[in-house]
Amino acid sequence: MRRPGLALLAVLALGCEPRELTWSYRLDPALRGVAESLELGFVRDGCTGERDLTITVPTLGGAPSAELPTLAPGVWGFEVTAHTRASGRTPIGRGCEAVELPTSEPFVVVVAPLGATPDAGVGPGDAAP
Amino acid sequence: MRTRVATSAAWLTLVLSLPAAAQDAAGALEAARAEMAGARFAEAAARLDAAAAAPDGLDRPALVTLLRLRALARHALRDADAARADLVALLSLEPGATLGAEAPPSLTRALEEARASSGPGLRVDAEASRSAGGFTVSSRASGDPAGLVRRLRVLALREDTVEPHEGARVEIAGEGTLRYVVEAIGPGGAVLATAGTPSAPRELRAEPARVAAPRAASEEGGDDTALIVGIGAGAAAVIAGVAIALAILLAVPDTRVLPPGCEGCP
The domain that contains A75 carries what CATH number?
A: 2.60.40
**How far is Cα of residue A83 from the mean position of the Cα atoms in its chain?**
15
- Which band of pLDDT confidence, cut at 50, 70 and 90, is reported for residue A2? very low
- Which band of pLDDT confidence, cut at 50, 70 and 90, is reported for residue B148? very high
For the segment B145-149, the average pLDDT, to the nearest whole number, is 92
Q: Does the CB of A32 have a partner CB in chain B at under 8 Å?
A: yes
A42-81 pLDDT, tens digit per residue, is 988 888 877 778 888 888 888 888 888 888 888 899 999 9
Nearest by CB to residue B254, choosing from A41, A70, A85, is A70
- Give B-chain residues touching A128 at CB under 8 angstroms: 1, 4
Query: Which ipTM value was assigned to this complex?
Result: 0.76
**Which residues neighbour B244 within 8 Å (Cβ) at sequence distance 6 or greater?**
none
Contact yes or no for B110/B80 (Cβ under 8 A): yes
Q: Does the CB of A105 have a partner CB in chain B at under 8 Å?
A: no
* pLDDT over 60 (residue B211): no
Q: Is residue A7 part of a domain?
A: no
Total domains in the fold of chain A: 1
Nearest by CB to residue A19, choosing from B11, B199, B256, is B256
For the segment B146-170, the average pLDDT, to the nearest whole number, is 91
Smallest Cα distance from A59 to chain B, Å: 9
- Which band of pLDDT confidence, cut at 50, 70 and 90, is reported for residue B249? low
Element (DSSP H or E) covering residue A97: strand A93-101
Q: Is residue A4 part of a domain?
A: no
For the segment A115-119, the average pLDDT, to the nearest whole number, is 46
| Residue B177 CB neighbour total at 10 angstroms | 12
* pLDDT over 70 (residue A21): yes
Q: Is residue A49 part of a domain?
A: yes
pLDDT at B10: 52
Chain-wide mean pLDDT for chain A? 77
The least confident of A101-105, B40-44, B167-171, B182-186 is: A101-105
**A53 vs B125: CB contact, 8 Å cut-off?**
yes
pLDDT at A27: 92
Q: Is residue A15 part of a domain?
A: no
Residue A112: give the domain boundaries: 21-124
- Which band of pLDDT confidence, cut at 50, 70 and 90, is reported for residue A120? very low
Q: Does the CB of A110 have a partner CB in chain B at under 8 Å?
A: no
pLDDT at B29: 93
- Which band of pLDDT confidence, cut at 50, 70 and 90, is reported for residue B106? very high
Q: Is residue A116 part of a domain?
A: yes
For the segment B132-159, the average pLDDT, to the nearest whole number, is 91
B195-206 pLDDT, tens digit per residue, is 988 888 898 887
How far is A61 from B147, CA to CA, in rounded Å? 28
| CB burial readout B120-159, b (16+ within 10 A) else e | ebbbbbbebeeeeeebbbbbbbbbbebebbbebbbbbbbe
**Domains in chain B, CATH or no CATH each:** 2-116 (no CATH), 123-204 (2.60.40)
**Which residues neighbour A59 within 8 Å (Cβ) at sequence distance 6 or greater?**
A36, A37, B96
Q: Which residues on adjacent β-strands are paired with residue A51?
A: A43
- Which band of pLDDT confidence, cut at 50, 70 and 90, is reported for residue B74? very high
- Which band of pLDDT confidence, cut at 50, 70 and 90, is reported for residue B17? very low
Concatenating the DSSP letter of every residue in B210-253 gives: -PPPPPPPP----TTHHHHHHHHHHHHHHHHHHHHHHHHHHPPP
Q: Is residue A11 part of a domain?
A: no
pLDDT at B151: 93
**B255 vs A24: CB contact, 8 Å cut-off?**
no
Q: Is residue A79 part of a domain?
A: yes
* pLDDT over 50 (residue B228): yes
B261 to chain A: closest CA residue:
A24
A8 to chain B: closest CA residue:
B249
pLDDT at A16: 61
